[in-house]
Chain A
Amino acid sequence: MSAATPAAARAGRRRIEPWTLAGAALLVLLLFFSVLPMAWMLATSIKTQFAAVQYPPEWIPRNPTLEQYYRLLSPRNEVGREFLGYLLNSLWVSTATTVLGVLVGVPAAYAFSRFRFPGRNLLFYAVLVRNMFPAVVFLMPLFIMMRWMGLVNTHASLILTYLTFGLPLSIWLLKGFYDNIPVQLEQAARIDGASRFKAFLLVVMPLSAPGIIATAIYSFITAWNEYVYALTFLNEKSRLTLPVGLQRFFTEFASNWPGLMAASFIMSVPVVVLFLVLQKWFVKALTEGAVKS
C-alpha cells in the first residue's frame, strides 16, 4: 500500500523491496491467465457464428447478440427444450445430493468430533483413504451394481454415487467445524437438563450452521460439475445432466462455438455466484482440515 500514492512512495522508497515488485508482476500475470479464458468464453458467446470464426479474431465483439442465450433458454425451440431439460436434471441431482449429504453427514461428523468410541480412528482413516481412489476405478463395479439394481439411466444412480463419494469430504469438513465449537457449551446444556440429542440439536446445530452451509455449497458445486459418473450411468437424452449434455451439444453442433460458449457460461453462472456470495465460508471449508496439522 505504501506505493499507492507518490508521496508515500517517496517517503518510503527504501521499503519497496524487489520482492514486492515481483509479487505484483506475478499477480498481474496470474489475473490475466485466470481471466482471459473466461473473458473469451463470454465474448464468443455474444458473437454471431460468422463473427466467431474471423481471423484474426475480433477481440471485442462488434455486433454483440444474445441470440445464443435466447435459443438455449427458450422452451419454444428444440435446442432450448433440450438444454433446459439438462439444466433441470442437474439442479435436481445436485440439490438432492446436497440435502441427503447434510442429513447423513452431520450426525457422522458430530460423532467423529465428539465421541471416543472403539474403532473411531480406524473408521475415520477409512473415510480419508476413500479420497485416494480414482473415480474411474469405481466405475465398472458400480456400473454393474447399478445395472443389477435396475438403476442405470436413473438419477437415483447419480445421487447415490455422489452422496457416497461426497460424504468422506463432507464429514471431514464438518468435523473441523465441530472441533471448533467448545464442548463446554453442550455440557452446560446437559447440566441444565437437556438430553445429548437435544443439546446437539439446540446448541451445536445453530453454531455449526456456517459450516453446514459451506459444506452444502461444496457438495452442490461438486455434484453440479461431476462428469465421469454422469457420462457412464446415463445415456438417455432426456435424463442427461449439464456436463454430459454439453458434450452432446458439442458433437451435434460442432462448429457453433458461440452456442457452446453460451451454454458453458450458463452452466458456470450458478456455481460462480454461489461461490462468490459465500466465498469466505467456502475457503474456510476447503482449508479447514489441512491447516490444522
Chain B
Amino acid sequence: MPISDPVAARERPIATPAAASRPRSDGVLARIVRHRADYLYVLPALGVMALVIAYPVYFTVYLSFFNTPPNLALEDKIFVGFANYGRIVAAESFHEATWNTLVWTLFSTLFAFVLGFGAAITLDRELFGRSVLRGTLLVPYVISAVAASYVWRWLYHSDFGVIGAMLVALGLTDGPINILDNRSRVMPALIVVNVWKEFPFAMIMMLAGLQTVPDQLLRAARVDGASAWQRFWHVTMPHLRGVSLVTVLLLLVTNLNSFTIPWIMTGGGPAGASEIWITQVYQLAFGRIRFGLASAYSVILFGVMMAMGWFYVRALTRGEDRSPG
C-alpha cells in the first residue's frame, strides 16, 4: 500500500472546494434538504434501477420458498419453506455443476490473466505497429459470444474441424477427434474458448496499469544495475497491485456468470460434463419451468456473488474518499 499511494494521490480527482469547505456538523436531514436539487440528476437512473433490480431481487427470494406450477400461473404456487434449498444442495447434479464451475472459473481466470498480463508487458514498449497489434488482439473481446461460440464449434467439429486436422498434422492423433462430445475434453475445450475471448480484457487493463509506472524509476533502477527481472519485480509489480486485483476480481465475476459460451457450444453436455451453475439455473427455469427451484438456486448464487462483490468494491474504492456522505 505505501508504495502505490503516491500514484493514487496524483490520480485522485480534485475534490470540489465547495464540498470541502462545507461544515459537516449539521444533521442529515438538513443536508438532504440543502442538496435536494442534486438528487434530480441521479433520480432517473435510480428509478429505473429500483424497478429492474431491487424488485427482482426481492421477488427471487420470495419465489424461492414456493413450488411453482409449470404453466407459471403464480396464484397456484405452494409454500414449501426451505424445501427447494434442500433439494438443490442435495442434488448430485448440483455437486457436479459446482465442481465444473470452480474449474471453469479458476482456470479461465488464471489463463486469461497470465496471457493478458504477458501480452501487456510485451506491448508496453516502443514497438512497430503497436496499436495495430493491440487492436488485433482485442477483436475476440468485442465480437459476439454467440458468433464466437459457433466459430469455435466449427473449429472443434469432430469430422471437418480445423483443430482436429492440425492435431493430425502434428502427429498427435491418427484421425478426426471428438472434442466437445468427450467428457474429459469438453471442459478444457470450453475454457480455451473463454480464454480466447477474455484474455484481451486482462491485456488492456494491465497495459493501462503498466502505463502508470513512472519511467524515471525504471531508468534509475537500470542505472543502479538492476536486472530486467529485478526491475519488473521490485519496481513495476508494486505499482500493479491495485489494477491486478481489480482485473482478477472482474474476471472471476465474469466467469462465474458466464452463460453464452457453454450454453451455445454444449448446452451443458455431454451428460452434464460441462454443466455450470448458470447454465443449470437457466435449464431449471426456462427448460423445465421450475421457477421456485431455480429461484432458490439463484439465491444461493446471490450469496456467493455478494461475497465477491464486497471484495470488488473494496478493491475498487481503495484510496478514494470514504466520507460518509
A53-B159, A135-B259, A141-B60 known; A130 vs B49 contact (CB < 8 Å):
yes
Residue-wise, chain B 237-268 has the 8 Å CB interface mask toward A (1 for contact) of 00000110011001001001101100010000
Within B184-223, the residues touching A (CB, 8 Å) are: 196, 199-201, 204-205, 207-209, 211-212
CA distance A26 to B120 in the complex (A): 11
Tell whether, in the assembled complex, residue A293 and residue B316 are in contact, meaning their CB atoms are under 8 Å apart: yes
Please, how many residues of chain A have a CB less than 8 angstroms from a CB on the other chain?
Answer: 109
Tell whether, in the assembled complex, residue A287 and residue B315 are in contact, meaning their CB atoms are under 8 Å apart: no
CA distance A287 to B210 in the complex (A): 12
A136-B281, A180-B13, A286-B205 known; A37 vs B122 contact (CB < 8 Å):
no
A131-B253, A137-B302, A225-B145 known; A31 vs B286 contact (CB < 8 Å):
no
Residue-wise, chain B 37-57 has the 8 Å CB interface mask toward A (1 for contact) of 011111011101101110111
Interface centre among A133, A145, A228, A261 (most CB of B within 10 A): A133
Contacts of B243 in A (CB 8 A): 290-291, 293
CA distance A44 to B150 in the complex (A): 12
Tell whether, in the assembled complex, residue B305 and residue A132 are in contact, meaning their CB atoms are under 8 Å apart: yes
Which secondary structure dominates where chain B touches chain A? Answer: helix
Within B45-96, the residues touching A (CB, 8 Å) are: 45-46, 48-49, 51-53, 55-57, 59-60, 63, 72, 74
Within B7-38, the residues touching A (CB, 8 Å) are: 8, 11-14, 16-17, 19, 22, 28, 31-32, 35, 38
Residue-wise, chain B 141-176 has the 8 Å CB interface mask toward A (1 for contact) of 011111110111011010110100100110000001
Known A164-B52, A293-B243; 19 more pairs at CB < 8 Å: A1-B128, A41-B151, A52-B160, A57-B165, A121-B325, A134-B256, A137-B301, A139-B286, A167-B48, A179-B13, A242-B144, A247-B146, A264-B151, A268-B147, A283-B208, A287-B204, A289-B316, A290-B247, A293-B317
Binding site for A on B (CB under 8 A): 8, 11-14, 16-17, 19, 22, 28, 31-32, 35, 38-42, 44-46, 48-49, 51-53, 55-57, 59-60, 63, 72, 74, 115, 118-119, 121-123, 126-128, 131, 133-140, 142-148, 150-152, 154-155, 157, 159-160, 162, 165, 168-169, 176, 196, 199-201, 204-205, 207-209, 211-212, 228-229, 242-243, 246-247, 250, 253, 256-257, 259-260, 264, 278, 281-282, 285-286, 291, 294-295, 298, 301-302, 305-306, 308-309, 312-313, 315-320, 322-325
Nearest 4 CB-CB pairings of A with B: A111-B41, A179-B13, A132-B309, A141-B56
Query: Can you offer 23 A-B residue contacts whose CB atoms are under 8 A?
Result: A23-B121, A27-B123, A37-B140, A37-B151, A38-B143, A108-B41, A108-B42, A108-B44, A115-B35, A116-B19, A122-B325, A125-B317, A131-B253, A136-B278, A138-B52, A163-B48, A164-B51, A180-B13, A182-B14, A228-B282, A243-B144, A276-B135, A290-B316
